[in-house]
Amino acid sequence: MNGFPGFVLRRLAGAVITLFVLSVIIYVVFYVTPGNVAQITCGPRCSPAQVQQVAGQLHLDDPLYVRYWHFLQGVFVGQDYSTGTSVEHCAAPCLGQSYQTGREVTDIIRAKLPVSFSLVSGAMVMWLLLGVGTGVLSAWRRGRLSERVLTAVTLAGVATPVFVIGLVLMIVVCGELQLLPFPQYVNFTDDPEQWAWNLLLPWLSLALIEAAGFARLTRASMLETLAEDHIRTFRAYGVGERAVIVRHALRGATASVIALNAVTVGSAVGGAVLTETLFGLPGIGQELVRAVKVVDLPVVVGMVLVTGFFVVLANAVADVLYAVADRRVVLA
Protein backbone atom coordinates (compact mmCIF):
# COMPACT_ATOMS: atom_id res chain seq x y z
CA MET A 1 0.00 0.00 0.00
CA ASN A 2 1.42 3.33 -1.10
CA GLY A 3 0.76 6.89 -0.04
CA PHE A 4 -0.29 8.13 3.36
CA PRO A 5 -2.31 5.02 4.45
CA GLY A 6 0.68 2.82 3.70
CA PHE A 7 2.93 5.13 5.67
CA VAL A 8 0.60 4.95 8.69
CA LEU A 9 0.44 1.14 8.50
CA ARG A 10 4.23 0.90 8.33
CA ARG A 11 4.61 3.12 11.39
CA LEU A 12 2.00 1.08 13.30
CA ALA A 13 3.77 -2.15 12.39
CA GLY A 14 7.05 -0.64 13.57
CA ALA A 15 5.43 0.37 16.86
CA VAL A 16 4.12 -3.19 17.40
CA ILE A 17 7.56 -4.68 16.74
CA THR A 18 9.16 -2.16 19.10
CA LEU A 19 6.69 -3.05 21.85
CA PHE A 20 7.41 -6.75 21.36
CA VAL A 21 11.16 -6.21 21.63
CA LEU A 22 10.62 -4.00 24.66
CA SER A 23 8.56 -6.69 26.39
CA VAL A 24 11.32 -9.26 25.76
CA ILE A 25 13.98 -6.97 27.23
CA ILE A 26 11.85 -6.14 30.27
CA TYR A 27 11.06 -9.81 30.88
CA VAL A 28 14.68 -10.91 30.63
CA VAL A 29 16.03 -8.09 32.79
CA PHE A 30 13.52 -8.37 35.63
CA TYR A 31 12.25 -11.95 35.69
CA VAL A 32 15.33 -13.96 34.72
CA THR A 33 17.29 -12.87 37.78
CA PRO A 34 18.95 -14.79 40.58
CA GLY A 35 16.90 -15.29 43.71
CA ASN A 36 13.92 -17.37 44.83
CA VAL A 37 11.01 -15.64 43.12
CA ALA A 38 8.59 -18.31 44.36
CA GLN A 39 9.61 -17.69 47.98
CA ILE A 40 9.17 -13.93 47.57
CA THR A 41 5.75 -14.43 45.97
CA CYS A 42 4.51 -16.94 48.52
CA GLY A 43 5.82 -15.11 51.56
CA PRO A 44 8.16 -15.94 54.46
CA ARG A 45 5.64 -18.19 56.25
CA CYS A 46 5.11 -20.62 53.38
CA SER A 47 6.26 -24.22 53.71
CA PRO A 48 8.67 -25.75 51.17
CA ALA A 49 5.74 -27.59 49.60
CA GLN A 50 3.80 -24.37 49.15
CA VAL A 51 6.86 -22.65 47.68
CA GLN A 52 7.26 -25.51 45.21
CA GLN A 53 3.57 -25.23 44.30
CA VAL A 54 3.98 -21.52 43.58
CA ALA A 55 7.11 -22.22 41.50
CA GLY A 56 5.10 -24.64 39.39
CA GLN A 57 2.24 -22.18 39.04
CA LEU A 58 4.67 -19.45 37.90
CA HIS A 59 6.35 -21.90 35.48
CA LEU A 60 9.75 -21.17 37.01
CA ASP A 61 11.04 -24.63 36.09
CA ASP A 62 10.10 -24.25 32.42
CA PRO A 63 12.54 -23.12 29.70
CA LEU A 64 12.91 -19.40 29.14
CA TYR A 65 10.84 -19.26 25.94
CA VAL A 66 7.98 -21.18 27.61
CA ARG A 67 8.00 -18.79 30.57
CA TYR A 68 7.90 -15.81 28.24
CA TRP A 69 4.99 -17.37 26.34
CA HIS A 70 3.04 -17.67 29.60
CA PHE A 71 3.89 -14.03 30.29
CA LEU A 72 2.38 -13.01 26.94
CA GLN A 73 -0.65 -15.20 27.59
CA GLY A 74 -1.24 -13.30 30.79
CA VAL A 75 -1.13 -9.99 28.94
CA PHE A 76 -3.57 -11.03 26.20
CA VAL A 77 -5.87 -13.68 27.71
CA GLY A 78 -5.16 -13.62 31.45
CA GLN A 79 -3.74 -16.34 33.67
CA ASP A 80 -4.21 -18.28 36.88
CA TYR A 81 -1.69 -17.89 39.68
CA SER A 82 -1.21 -19.37 43.11
CA THR A 83 -0.88 -17.55 46.40
CA GLY A 84 0.32 -20.69 48.17
CA THR A 85 -3.09 -21.61 49.57
CA SER A 86 -5.44 -20.98 46.62
CA VAL A 87 -5.54 -20.34 42.90
CA GLU A 88 -6.88 -17.04 41.58
CA HIS A 89 -7.62 -15.84 38.06
CA CYS A 90 -6.09 -12.62 36.75
CA ALA A 91 -8.07 -11.20 33.82
CA ALA A 92 -6.33 -9.81 30.75
CA PRO A 93 -4.31 -7.68 30.54
CA CYS A 94 -2.69 -9.46 33.47
CA LEU A 95 0.69 -8.13 34.56
CA GLY A 96 0.85 -10.18 37.75
CA GLN A 97 0.19 -9.56 41.40
CA SER A 98 2.12 -7.33 43.77
CA TYR A 99 4.41 -9.26 46.12
CA GLN A 100 3.81 -6.75 48.91
CA THR A 101 0.10 -5.90 48.77
CA GLY A 102 -1.41 -8.79 46.81
CA ARG A 103 -3.21 -6.37 44.47
CA GLU A 104 -3.21 -6.95 40.74
CA VAL A 105 -0.66 -4.75 39.00
CA THR A 106 -3.24 -3.53 36.48
CA ASP A 107 -5.40 -2.22 39.34
CA ILE A 108 -2.43 -0.33 40.78
CA ILE A 109 -1.64 1.17 37.37
CA ARG A 110 -5.26 2.23 36.84
CA ALA A 111 -5.19 4.05 40.17
CA LYS A 112 -1.86 5.79 39.53
CA LEU A 113 -2.07 6.51 35.79
CA PRO A 114 -4.45 9.52 35.95
CA VAL A 115 -1.97 11.38 38.20
CA SER A 116 1.00 10.82 35.89
CA PHE A 117 -1.09 11.53 32.79
CA SER A 118 -2.28 14.81 34.32
CA LEU A 119 1.30 15.79 35.15
CA VAL A 120 2.88 14.98 31.77
CA SER A 121 0.01 16.25 29.59
CA GLY A 122 -0.26 19.56 31.46
CA ALA A 123 3.50 20.03 31.41
CA MET A 124 3.54 19.27 27.67
CA VAL A 125 1.10 22.09 26.97
CA MET A 126 3.23 24.46 29.04
CA TRP A 127 6.59 23.52 27.52
CA LEU A 128 5.16 23.90 24.00
CA LEU A 129 3.71 27.32 24.78
CA LEU A 130 6.79 28.54 26.66
CA GLY A 131 9.37 26.94 24.38
CA VAL A 132 7.87 27.79 21.00
CA GLY A 133 6.87 31.27 22.19
CA THR A 134 10.37 31.99 23.47
CA GLY A 135 11.93 30.64 20.27
CA VAL A 136 9.71 32.81 18.08
CA LEU A 137 10.48 35.90 20.14
CA SER A 138 14.22 35.19 20.06
CA ALA A 139 14.21 34.84 16.27
CA TRP A 140 12.08 37.96 15.88
CA ARG A 141 14.33 40.04 18.18
CA ARG A 142 17.60 38.64 16.84
CA GLY A 143 20.65 40.69 17.78
CA ARG A 144 18.86 42.73 20.43
CA LEU A 145 19.22 42.69 24.19
CA SER A 146 15.95 40.80 24.70
CA GLU A 147 17.20 38.00 22.45
CA ARG A 148 20.42 37.66 24.47
CA VAL A 149 18.47 37.53 27.73
CA LEU A 150 16.13 34.85 26.39
CA THR A 151 19.09 32.79 25.14
CA ALA A 152 20.74 32.97 28.56
CA VAL A 153 17.52 31.91 30.26
CA THR A 154 17.10 28.90 27.97
CA LEU A 155 20.69 27.80 28.57
CA ALA A 156 20.13 28.05 32.31
CA GLY A 157 17.00 25.95 31.93
CA VAL A 158 18.88 23.19 30.11
CA ALA A 159 21.58 23.10 32.80
CA THR A 160 19.27 23.07 35.86
CA PRO A 161 17.94 19.73 37.19
CA VAL A 162 14.19 19.40 37.58
CA PHE A 163 14.36 18.79 41.32
CA VAL A 164 16.28 22.05 41.83
CA ILE A 165 13.67 24.06 39.94
CA GLY A 166 10.86 22.32 41.80
CA LEU A 167 12.47 22.91 45.18
CA VAL A 168 13.10 26.60 44.45
CA LEU A 169 9.53 27.08 43.25
CA MET A 170 8.12 25.45 46.38
CA ILE A 171 10.30 27.56 48.69
CA VAL A 172 9.60 30.85 46.91
CA VAL A 173 6.02 30.49 45.65
CA CYS A 174 4.55 28.33 48.43
CA GLY A 175 6.78 29.29 51.35
CA GLU A 176 7.94 32.89 51.03
CA LEU A 177 5.25 34.45 48.82
CA GLN A 178 2.45 32.04 49.76
CA LEU A 179 0.84 32.47 46.37
CA LEU A 180 -0.05 28.81 46.02
CA PRO A 181 -0.64 25.96 48.49
CA PHE A 182 1.81 23.10 48.67
CA PRO A 183 0.68 20.65 45.95
CA GLN A 184 -1.79 17.96 46.94
CA TYR A 185 -3.33 15.98 44.11
CA VAL A 186 -7.07 16.51 43.59
CA ASN A 187 -9.03 14.47 41.06
CA PHE A 188 -10.11 16.44 38.02
CA THR A 189 -13.67 15.14 38.31
CA ASP A 190 -13.91 16.28 41.94
CA ASP A 191 -12.73 19.88 41.48
CA PRO A 192 -11.17 20.95 38.14
CA GLU A 193 -10.03 24.31 39.54
CA GLN A 194 -8.20 22.81 42.52
CA TRP A 195 -6.81 20.10 40.24
CA ALA A 196 -5.15 22.77 38.10
CA TRP A 197 -3.97 24.96 40.99
CA ASN A 198 -2.33 22.03 42.79
CA LEU A 199 -0.57 20.85 39.62
CA LEU A 200 0.63 24.28 38.52
CA LEU A 201 4.02 24.08 40.27
CA PRO A 202 4.75 20.49 39.15
CA TRP A 203 3.81 21.51 35.60
CA LEU A 204 6.17 24.48 35.72
CA SER A 205 9.01 22.42 37.21
CA LEU A 206 8.81 19.86 34.43
CA ALA A 207 7.99 22.33 31.64
CA LEU A 208 10.78 24.83 32.35
CA ILE A 209 13.39 22.13 31.80
CA GLU A 210 11.90 20.87 28.52
CA ALA A 211 10.91 24.31 27.16
CA ALA A 212 14.55 25.28 26.78
CA GLY A 213 15.11 22.67 24.06
CA PHE A 214 12.02 23.80 22.14
CA ALA A 215 13.10 27.42 22.36
CA ARG A 216 16.53 26.68 20.89
CA LEU A 217 15.12 24.45 18.13
CA THR A 218 12.35 26.90 17.18
CA ARG A 219 14.79 29.79 17.06
CA ALA A 220 17.27 27.89 14.86
CA SER A 221 14.56 26.62 12.49
CA MET A 222 12.98 30.06 12.13
CA LEU A 223 16.29 31.79 11.50
CA GLU A 224 17.03 29.25 8.78
CA THR A 225 13.62 29.82 7.21
CA LEU A 226 13.89 33.61 7.46
CA ALA A 227 17.12 33.47 5.44
CA GLU A 228 15.46 31.73 2.47
CA ASP A 229 14.64 33.44 -0.81
CA HIS A 230 10.85 33.18 -0.61
CA ILE A 231 10.85 35.09 2.70
CA ARG A 232 12.75 37.94 1.07
CA THR A 233 10.20 37.86 -1.74
CA PHE A 234 7.31 38.18 0.70
CA ARG A 235 9.00 41.14 2.35
CA ALA A 236 9.69 42.75 -1.03
CA TYR A 237 5.97 42.54 -1.86
CA GLY A 238 5.15 44.37 1.37
CA VAL A 239 3.97 41.45 3.52
CA GLY A 240 4.03 42.53 7.17
CA GLU A 241 6.75 41.21 9.47
CA ARG A 242 4.23 39.62 11.82
CA ALA A 243 2.62 37.70 8.95
CA VAL A 244 6.04 36.55 7.74
CA ILE A 245 6.92 35.28 11.21
CA VAL A 246 3.64 33.53 12.01
CA ARG A 247 2.41 32.27 8.64
CA HIS A 248 5.67 31.29 6.99
CA ALA A 249 8.69 31.10 9.31
CA LEU A 250 6.85 29.41 12.18
CA ARG A 251 5.24 26.92 9.81
CA GLY A 252 8.72 25.84 8.71
CA ALA A 253 9.59 24.95 12.32
CA THR A 254 6.44 22.89 12.94
CA ALA A 255 7.83 19.56 11.74
CA SER A 256 10.95 19.86 13.89
CA VAL A 257 8.87 20.76 16.95
CA ILE A 258 6.65 17.70 16.43
CA ALA A 259 9.66 15.41 16.20
CA LEU A 260 11.27 16.88 19.31
CA ASN A 261 8.02 16.65 21.26
CA ALA A 262 7.90 12.88 20.79
CA VAL A 263 11.37 12.52 22.26
CA THR A 264 10.58 14.99 25.03
CA VAL A 265 7.52 13.02 26.15
CA GLY A 266 9.80 10.04 26.76
CA SER A 267 12.29 12.06 28.77
CA ALA A 268 9.45 13.77 30.65
CA VAL A 269 8.30 10.38 31.91
CA GLY A 270 11.70 9.99 33.57
CA GLY A 271 11.50 13.54 34.89
CA ALA A 272 8.02 12.79 36.23
CA VAL A 273 9.53 10.23 38.61
CA LEU A 274 11.56 12.97 40.31
CA THR A 275 8.73 15.49 40.08
CA GLU A 276 6.15 13.17 41.64
CA THR A 277 8.55 12.21 44.40
CA LEU A 278 9.44 15.85 45.12
CA PHE A 279 5.86 17.08 45.25
CA GLY A 280 4.40 13.92 46.81
CA LEU A 281 2.08 13.16 43.88
CA PRO A 282 0.70 9.60 44.03
CA GLY A 283 1.50 8.71 40.43
CA ILE A 284 3.31 5.96 38.57
CA GLY A 285 6.71 7.52 39.23
CA GLN A 286 6.33 7.52 43.00
CA GLU A 287 4.88 3.99 42.95
CA LEU A 288 7.80 2.80 40.80
CA VAL A 289 10.31 4.17 43.31
CA ARG A 290 8.49 2.35 46.12
CA ALA A 291 8.37 -0.92 44.16
CA VAL A 292 12.10 -0.77 43.36
CA LYS A 293 12.96 -0.23 47.04
CA VAL A 294 11.04 -3.32 48.17
CA VAL A 295 11.91 -5.43 45.07
CA ASP A 296 8.25 -5.75 44.05
CA LEU A 297 9.08 -7.17 40.61
CA PRO A 298 5.58 -7.49 39.09
CA VAL A 299 4.85 -3.83 39.88
CA VAL A 300 8.21 -2.71 38.48
CA VAL A 301 7.73 -4.71 35.28
CA GLY A 302 4.16 -3.49 34.83
CA MET A 303 5.06 0.14 35.38
CA VAL A 304 8.02 0.00 32.98
CA LEU A 305 6.02 -1.84 30.33
CA VAL A 306 3.10 0.61 30.47
CA THR A 307 5.47 3.58 30.44
CA GLY A 308 7.27 2.13 27.42
CA PHE A 309 3.92 1.63 25.67
CA PHE A 310 3.02 5.30 26.01
CA VAL A 311 6.47 6.41 24.85
CA VAL A 312 6.24 4.21 21.74
CA LEU A 313 2.68 5.44 21.14
CA ALA A 314 3.81 9.07 21.42
CA ASN A 315 6.55 8.49 18.86
CA ALA A 316 4.16 6.74 16.46
CA VAL A 317 1.66 9.61 16.69
CA ALA A 318 4.50 12.10 16.20
CA ASP A 319 5.60 10.28 13.02
CA VAL A 320 2.09 10.56 11.61
CA LEU A 321 1.80 14.26 12.54
CA TYR A 322 5.26 14.87 11.07
CA ALA A 323 4.06 13.37 7.80
CA VAL A 324 0.97 15.60 7.89
CA ALA A 325 3.16 18.67 8.41
CA ASP A 326 5.65 17.63 5.71
CA ARG A 327 4.17 15.29 3.09
CA ARG A 328 7.65 14.57 1.70
CA VAL A 329 8.11 12.20 4.65
CA VAL A 330 5.45 9.86 3.20
CA LEU A 331 7.61 9.26 0.15
CA ALA A 332 10.74 8.46 2.17
Say what the pLDDT of residue 332 is.
54
Report the distance separating Cα 19 and Cα 233, nearest Å.
47
Torsion angles phi and psi, residue 218, rounded to 5: -65, -40
Report the distance separating Cα 99 and Cα 254, nearest Å.
46
**Mean pLDDT per 10-residue section of the chain, whose length is 332 residues:** 75 87 82 63 73 70 78 82 67 80 86 90 90 82 72 72 83 84 86 90 86 84 79 78 74 77 77 82 86 80 85 82 66 52
Report the distance separating Cα 55 and Cα 42, nearest Å.
9
- Amino acid identity, position 126: M
Strand ranges for the chain from DSSP E: 79-82, 87-90
Say what the pLDDT of residue 255 is.
75
- How far are the Cα atoms of 127, 152, 165, 207, 212 from residue 159, in angstroms, in the given order? 16, 11, 11, 14, 10
Report the distance separating Cα 296 and Cα 69, nearest Å.
21
Judged on CB neighbours under 10 Å (0-12, 13-18, 19+), 83 is: middle
